[in-house]
Amino acid sequence: MSNPRSSPVRLKDIARDLNVSVMTVSKVVRGCADVGAETRRRVLARIKELNYQPNWVARSLAAGRTFIIGLIVPDLMHSFFAEIAKGVSATIQPMGYDVVICNSEENGGVEASEIDRLLGRQVDGLILASAQPPSSTEVFERIAARGVPLVLIDRRFAGVPAPYVGVDDEAIGRLATLHLIERGCRRIAHIAGPPLTPGVGRLKGYQDALAAAGISVPGSYIVRAADDASGYQAARRLLELQPRPDAIFGYNDPTAAGAMKAILEAGIDIPGQMKVIGVGNVHYSDLLRVPLSTIDQSSAAIGQHAAETLVKVISSKRKRPARSIIIEPVLIARESTAATAGHRAA
Amino acid sequence: MSNPRSSPVRLKDIARDLNVSVMTVSKVVRGCADVGAETRRRVLARIKELNYQPNWVARSLAAGRTFIIGLIVPDLMHSFFAEIAKGVSATIQPMGYDVVICNSEENGGVEASEIDRLLGRQVDGLILASAQPPSSTEVFERIAARGVPLVLIDRRFAGVPAPYVGVDDEAIGRLATLHLIERGCRRIAHIAGPPLTPGVGRLKGYQDALAAAGISVPGSYIVRAADDASGYQAARRLLELQPRPDAIFGYNDPTAAGAMKAILEAGIDIPGQMKVIGVGNVHYSDLLRVPLSTIDQSSAAIGQHAAETLVKVISSKRKRPARSIIIEPVLIARESTAATAGHRAA
DNA sequence: CTGAAAGCGCTAACAC
DNA sequence: GTGTTAGCGCTTTCAG
């Protein structure tokens, strides 16, 4: 079956064996129609026999495309991005592409070098959840200069002429805040995220929802965090405020989960004395000390749509600007915001 | 700076501009020593000026190596594997390699096609947490036939002559079980994992530790699960047994977390009436309803060692068999196995 | 339907 | 030190 340590079979080998030209074999491999039935049969047989696998490096060089796309995310450990990665792979592999996944560590400089690396590898396109500072567009220009199709996800960048796929962050902020208001909360605090579009949009949604309901809260009700550890710290600060908030809307699930830890440690009941909601519907939300209400942003769908959009751009010769896709968020109400009789807080 | 839509700069362009040969430029790019200082200076200047980036596809074809390694894991959403992926990338990128990460979905067939794909892409080496059934070695032979270096992680396969990097699963089982015994538990149940080396090894360690302590438990105390959902179901079955277990050792953290959910739902106190321990030290263990005791298996270190081992094999001309690396597990005791006065259970 | 010619961009190996 | 000669394995273009 497999003769140990043999050098890989090439088109040339098959062509020689069958007394046909390399071209003919190549055409059969690629499924071109213009090959005689009998010839095709013989070639196919030999291909199977020798277990021929095309050399994609050579193919890429000759054809001028690699059928590889790059995906750069800030943190693969964050299940939101892991799920996106999964969605991208699952969608784009059946279309014949492979995905190279890179981790920028939430660092713009690392990201820039990942991009260069991928461009050097001649990727056919790029999907990017960028860690660039909000107004820095240099890397995007570098990509555009190379003429490599780009799709932005999760984070928007003003003035960058690339399609964007993501959730409506302001809607997220409104949805979460409105839910807390409906549950009877009035002193709603917010753990805001980093100053990128998701954090900024969710904050704005939060403020808009409060304003629309005629509720005003002290500025100290807005604190900043990014992950569970900083969410925990942020919540501890919130708990010392007078009057104490009766609800916390966390920028994402990790911050909300960290906040819950601080709240419960302080002996405050959730949802009785304080309600908590996050964003992202991470897989373990349901297993937390108190199952965490959250806003689902269908991460897998983001990956899927981003992949489809990218392939569309790659395939379209003309510079069809390709529409952005904004996904509507969905509320997942669990115990951390359950209705409580009276909703009394300290 | 960047003239839009220009075709990429090639060695040839620089050579022409400077009236030197392509070879000379190539040598400068690769940092070869045998180039005159002045020539090198001029070339370097022009490279910077034009922002030249080597075409890795062409380079790979000519040089016969891609500096790409493949990593195949069963599930990127599992933070254990995500962390390994991170460790691999972080270790191997500084050595000049890129990593292509693939998801086998815990499916041997998918894995086999991922492997073919990667071999077709001419990867220089492979790191594999294989989803093959225990005695199926066909894919490994295919890899060996191509002469591509391979490192196995997380799951061992008897008879496959590839180095292995992972944790000592029997030691994990013993460590967890012994900890429960020391905490006064005697009716210790086990949620066993799938019949791969980690599941089998941890089960054996559990049984050995019980035997060494002279404890015997009914066979019904051993149930099977793989993730949080099945762990939840498995625990519900355990809770109906008479006598009821006073401790559960979960194959991994997700199963243990799922089990905790079932236990708490049944109104049973953790750790008062029942203690729980998992394996993996996943990031959110600390945020669960009751912070989960666990056995840490240093996922990042596994990734790092696997990467180092692989590079070692790639670099060594001769078939140095490269030693396997077995990592010692570490107990992380949290509240779910905290000592309780009396440790009474139903 | 089949194949010859030419070359993708780069690097080995060896001359000069 | 520098450059020449040959490709790597495949695809494109276009002629038979």
Contact B43, B20 (CB under 8 A): yes
Say how far apart CA A160 and CA B156 lie, in whole Å.
48
The packing angle between helices A253-265 and A228-239, to 10°, is: 50
Q: pLDDT digit string (tens) for A23-65?
A: 999 999 999 888 888 899 999 999 999 999 999 999 999 999 9
Residues 54-113 of A with CB under 7 A from strand D: 54-55, 58-59, 61-64
CA distances in angstroms from A25 to A18, A30, A39, A67, A68, listed in the order given: 9, 9, 9, 21, 24
* Phi, psi dihedral angles at A332 (to 5 degrees): -115, 105
Query: Coil, helix or strand for B155?
Result: coil
Burial A272-289 (b: 16+ CB within 10 A, else e): ebbbbbbbbbbbbbbbbb
What is the number of CB-based contacts under 8 A between chain A and chain B? 128
Query: Burial code of B299-326, b = ≥16 C-beta within 10 A, e = fewer?
Result: bbbbbbbbbbbbbebbeeeeeeebeebe
What does pTM read for this prediction?
0.92
Residues A270-297: pLDDT tens digits? 999 999 999 999 988 888 888 999 999 9
Report whether A128 contacts A84 (CB < 8 A). Answer: no
Shortest CB distance from B82 goes to which of A58, A76, A119?
A76
Please name which of B313, B311, B234, B306 lies closest in space to residue B86, comparing C-alpha atoms. B306
pLDDT at B319 exceeding the cut of 90: no
pLDDT at residue number A304: 97
Q: Domains in chain B, please, with CATH?
A: 11-62 (1.10.260.40), 65-166+299-327 (3.40.50.2300), 169-297+331-345 (3.40.50.2300)
Is B193's pLDDT higher than 60? yes
List the structure tokens of B132: 């093959």
- State whether residue B47 is helix, strand or coil: helix
B273-318 pLDDT, tens digit each: 999 999 999 988 888 888 999 999 999 999 999 999 999 999 986 6
Question: Do A75 and A106 form a contact (C-beta atoms < 8 A)?
Answer: yes
Q: Give tens-digit pLDDT for A206-233.
A: 999 999 999 999 999 999 999 999 999 9
Question: What DSSP string runs through B108-144?
Answer: HHHHHHHHHHHHHTT-SEEEE---S-TT--HHHHHHH
Of residues A55, A77, A147, nearest to B122 (C-beta):
A55
What residues form DSSP beta bridges with B249? B190, B277
Say yes or no to pLDDT of B344 above 50: no
Up-side HSE of residue A210: CA atoms within 13 Å toward CB?
22
Please state which of the ranges A211-225, A246-260, B20-34 shows the lowest mean pLDDT.
B20-34
pLDDT at B7: 82
Q: For residue A164, give both structure tokens.
A: 């964007």
Interface of B with A in 69-108 (CB under 8 A): 76-77, 79, 82-83, 85-86, 89, 98-103
The nearest alpha carbon in chain B to A147 belongs to B5
- With CA atoms as reference, report the closest residue to A306 among A99, A147, A104, A119: A99
Rounded Cα gap, residues B264 and A99, in angstroms = 42
